[in-house]
Amino acid sequence: MKPTIIDADTGHELWTAAECADFLGTSRGTFTSYVSRDRIPKPVTRHHGLTLWSSQELKKWNLSRPGHPQNG
């Protein structure tokens, strides 16, 4: 089973650091390094000890980041 967290206000899926790292194809450590250096969108909330990011914001950021195939 893989539960999904959905923001009740926006309807957007929220991701943990591990889910963000999986999406980006990085390790969780690399992702948290991006976070600590403010290279990634800010998390949207904390819930029951989990820091959560908007999947939509992360996808949008990923499309515009340097090195993405679309950006040469």
pLDDT in tens, 10-21: 999 999 999 999
24-59 tens-digit pLDDT: 999 999 999 999 999 999 999 998 999 999 999 999
Structure token pair of residue 15: 């991701």
Q: What is the pTM of this model?
A: 0.85
What are the domain boundaries of the chain?
A: 5-71
Q: Is the pLDDT of residue 4 over 60?
A: yes
pLDDT tens digits for range 57-67:
999 999 987 76
| pLDDT at 65 (0 to 100) | 78
The domain 5-71 having CATH identifier 3.20.20.10: the answer here is no
